[in-house]
Structure 1
């Protein structure tokens, strides 16, 4: 299976939304209530918000045989040496094939000059935490925040690049 990592385009919006919805429902089943998931996805991945991600940040897609099978969204933080990984999702049937690793590596290549990459992950997303740890991320801290009427338990992680 040949994977191409490229910049997201307007024509990719529906596929990005599909990957986000499919992956969220599988990843957060039993962790985040379904109604909270639906509310979040309808806002965060609305056509307008996906367009804004393309315009204001680095939104990459992973494509295989003409199909979008994953995406990652990065941005530089307040300092020019820090960046944030806002989202990375790979369709369930394509997980475990190195696509997430390729998306992260491409993002790191495109975000030249950064010394660290931060992310937040739901504390009960054990598969996600294991993936990030395997890529060299380490825990910074834990926090809780209100999330559409639900208390989200978050682990902050960092990948130090120097």
Structure 2
């Protein structure tokens, strides 16, 4: 298996949407109600919003060169509120490719392409224990717990940071 990490392109929109839908439904089954998931995915990963992510932030994809398919993606941007900081807005790898280092490669490439940042922040759902374990294994630490509301549903999230200084 050869994985290529590259910048997302317009022709990747449908694949990014597929990865988001597939991973969300597996990751958040029993955590976030299916209707809330569907509403979020419909809005956050609409064609227009995926294209805006490509234009306004760093959107990377992981492509399995052997199969010719996009199997993961990560979305980063520089912080608008904290100097020399960045946000990891999303990172998803389809379940059958998880545990193969693809998430790590996506984070490494994102950090390479965001020179000068001293910390990387993210929010993760508190019950997403595999996700939290992954972030801890990469050196992230907990900042605090938050509650966010989406369509009248309260998400309980943990804010984490990777100190790069």
State the TM bucket, normalised to the shorter chain: over 0.9
**Distance in 1 between residues matched to 2:28 and 2:160, nearest whole Å:** 19
Partner of 1:9: 9
CA deviation after TM superposition for structure 1 residue 80, in Å: 4.3
1:70-93 per-position Cα deviation (integer Å, ceiling 9, x unaligned): 000000002440000000000111
Partner of 1:54: 54
**Distance in 2 between residues matched to 1:61 and 1:80, nearest whole Å:** 26
Residue 156 (structure 2) aligned to one of 130, 153, 158: 153
Q: Which runs of 5+ in 1 are unaligned?
A: none
Q: Which runs of 5+ in 2 are unaligned?
A: none
Is this contact kept in 2: 1:80–1:113, CA < 8 A? Answer: no
Matched residue SS, 1:114: coil
Is this contact kept in 2: 1:5–1:60, CA < 8 A? Answer: yes
Matched residue SS, 1:102: helix
**Distance in 1 between residues matched to 2:83 and 2:49, nearest whole Å:** 24
**Distance in 2 between residues matched to 1:82 and 1:144, nearest whole Å:** 22
Partner of 1:131: 134
How many residues in Structure 1 have an aligned counterpart in Structure 2?
162
**Distance in 2 between residues matched to 1:80 and 1:105, nearest whole Å:** 20
Deviating above 6 A after TM superposition, structure 1's stretches of 4 or more consecutive aligned residues are none
**TM-score (normalised: structure 1):** 0.99
1:15-30, aligned counterparts within 5 Å? 15-30=15-30
**TM-score (normalised: structure 2):** 0.97
